[in-house]
Amino acid sequence: MNIRLLYLTREPFPTFRVDVATLFGRYLPRFGVYSDIVAVREGDGGECAWEAGRAFTRLARGRGGRIRARLMLALDLFRLVRADHAAVQVRDRIFGALLGLWAARLRGKPFYYWMSFPFPDYWLERGSPDPSGLAGPGRRLLFRLRGRLSSWLLYRLVLPAADHVFVQSDAMRTMLERHGLPAARMTPVPMGATIPERIEDIPPVDDPRLAGRRVVVYLGALERARRSEVMIEAMAAVRKEFPQAFLVFVGDAEDPGERLWFDALVRELGLQDHVLFTGWLPAEQARRYLRTAEIGLSPCARTPSLEVASPTKVIEYMAWGVPVVANDLPDQAYLIGETGGGLCVPLTPEGFAAGILQLLRDPAAARRMGEAGRRAIPGLRSYEVIARSLAEKYRQLAGGVAQ
């Protein structure tokens, strides 16, 4: 039985988010689950293909245009719902989810909510006092107001009325149980990765700055909220024993002020010859840095919003045979424990330095960890495995199986 969803997403179209572009765009159609995506379209306005179904978009330019487009797309759901849609699903949109819920009820369709991140909790955290001074009192007040309103809408109105909720992790399901949502109406769908079949066929990055260096890599966004500075501070200790150690950040900070703060920290610690920020790169180019790396890092603070996350980078490191040094965020600790693909360390400069040094001192043991992770991760987190399980869940829901 084929299933078709009407799917409103938070991300612009086309999206870099692998759990939209890869899971819904490529893998779920192989198991008979299609989706008509509804999303803001940015850039030059050119249409993009969506092979999993139809794409309903509105072009947005600038902040004001993006807000108007997001509102209009949520209202579009009322006219886009068709007889062949098994359900209306909304991803991480909160006011949009309320409109999606009404549209589904008016058309007699089930409503599903896909929660990849607890945005209300994150906004409330951003509204807390900021010792760094990067966020002023006015901005923090706006975050608090946004967090409180969105928390009320999501946890009091949308989620209790949803027919099913897809969450990012077991920890997120436990969190929502504390808000009164029954566990039986939630399905964890953790992040996954596309597993390269032959990594040896993919050339290492051609970057002369890496020549003769012991490369440690981090893929993703830099954020003080995640404690990204721990990696830089750890390098101050690592370089004393391994002067050739080189930390490469393949990514950037979303906030320009935070990026300036990280640059200043590198200068303060005298690490200009040991730290490289590449900025955002296309996925194919970014992953070529993994072919050069000896170690992959994944620090993530255990705040209420991040505690329930399922970081992709740990899975990607393992998929590419790179041993991991990560802290004890629940999903990270689970993956390291199941695969033996890395080390779980305290989220401190001393903890990350000790993990990095342990692997640099014993390259043979590091290689064994990388190989163990690469062997084990496909059965746990390949999108082939995740899509098969998720497609079966959609069929259960469509068939009226008890939720």
Contact between residue 236 and residue 269 where contact means Cβ atoms under 8 Å apart: yes
Contact between residue 347 and residue 299 where contact means Cβ atoms under 8 Å apart: yes
pLDDT at 44 over 80: no
Q: Give 149-199 as a DSSP string.
A: HHHIIIIIIIHHH-SEEEES-HHHHHHHHHTT--GGGEEE----BPPPS-G
CA-to-CA dists, residue 191 to 6, 61, 138, 199, 385, angstroms: 21, 30, 35, 21, 11
- Pairwise CA distance, residues 331 & 218, whole Å: 18
Phi, psi of 178 (to 5 degrees): -65, -20
pLDDT at 201 over 90: no
What pLDDT shows up at residue 128?
83
Contact between residue 276 and residue 306 where contact means Cβ atoms under 8 Å apart: no
- Pairwise CA distance, residues 315 & 320, whole Å: 9
- Pairwise CA distance, residues 177 & 261, whole Å: 38
What pLDDT shows up at residue 290?
93
Task: Determine which of 142-146, 253-257, 358-362 has the lowest per-residue pLDDT on average.
Answer: 253-257
Mean predicted confidence (pLDDT) in 325-354: 96
- Pairwise CA distance, residues 235 & 216, whole Å: 10
399 — pLDDT class (breaks 50, 70, 90): confident
- Pairwise CA distance, residues 326 & 355, whole Å: 9
- Pairwise CA distance, residues 116 & 32, whole Å: 23
- Pairwise CA distance, residues 297 & 331, whole Å: 15
- Pairwise CA distance, residues 308 & 116, whole Å: 9
Residue tagged 């999108």 (tokens): 383
Contact between residue 323 and residue 296 where contact means Cβ atoms under 8 Å apart: yes
Q: Which two tokens stand for residue 84?
A: 């062949």
- Pairwise CA distance, residues 281 & 292, whole Å: 16
pLDDT at 48 over 80: no
Contact between residue 41 and residue 30 where contact means Cβ atoms under 8 Å apart: no
Residue tagged 């342990």 (tokens): 358
Query: How are beta strands 245-250 and 275-277 bridged, if at all?
Result: parallel
401 — pLDDT class (breaks 50, 70, 90): very low
Q: What percent of the chain has pLDDT over 70?
A: 96
What pLDDT shows up at residue 137?
82
Three-state DSSP class for 275? strand
Give the chain's end-to-end CA distance (angstroms, integer): 19
Task: Determine which of 40-44, 184-188, 201-205, 266-270 has the lowest per-residue pLDDT on average.
Answer: 40-44
What pLDDT shows up at residue 138?
85
Average pLDDT over all residues of the chain: 92
Q: What percent of the chain has pLDDT over 90?
A: 79
Check residue 203 and report its DSSP letter. Answer: P
371 membership: H or E segment, kind and range: helix 363-381
> What confidence tens digit (pLDDT) does each residue in 157-171 have?
999 999 999 999 999
Task: Determine which of 119-133, 184-198, 332-346 has the lowest per-residue pLDDT on average.
Answer: 119-133
